[in-house]
């Protein structure tokens, strides 16, 4: 899937004649969805950061501890633990409907 921002679309349509009418009709027909932009070369760790927005991530030699709130961090109760090799592995995108 290719994600194009609405401001980018709007600026291109406004350059055309009768762009305002076309733009409003286009926006009314769009299905708006939440999307996560996946940067080139993203790792599993990068995706966890983007999707979960954790409070604190503590990296050790062989493991990563992820704390979702300040209270959890202060109590040393991490919500997620993974090894550094998985954390640093390039993210592999999976799409719905693929087998």
Which has more confidence, 85 or 36?
Answer: 85
Report the mean per-residue pLDDT for the chain: 80
Is it the case that residue 15 has pLDDT exceeding 60?
yes
pTM of the model: 0.59
Measure Cα distances from 58 to 34, 42, 47 in Å.
28, 19, 16
Per-residue pLDDT, 36 = 75
| pLDDT confidence of residue 13 | 67
More confident residue, 37 or 76: 76
Predicted local distance difference test score (pLDDT) of residue 39: 80
Q: Give 29's pLDDT tier (boundaries 50, 70, 90).
A: confident
Average confidence (pLDDT) over 49-72:
92
């Amino acid at each position: 899937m290719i994600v194009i921002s609405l401001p980018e679309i709007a600026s291109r349509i406004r350059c055309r004649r009768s762009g305002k009418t076309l733009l409003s009709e286009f926006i009314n027909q769009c299905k708006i969805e939440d999307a996560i932009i996946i940067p080139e070369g993203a790792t599993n760790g990068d995706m966890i950061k983007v999707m979960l927005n954790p409070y604190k991530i503590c990296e050790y030699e062989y493991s990563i501890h992820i704390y979702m709130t300040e209270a959890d961090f202060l109590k040393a109760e991490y919500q997620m633990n993974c090894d550094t090799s998985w954390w640093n592995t390039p993210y592999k995108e999976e799409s719905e409907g693929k087998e």
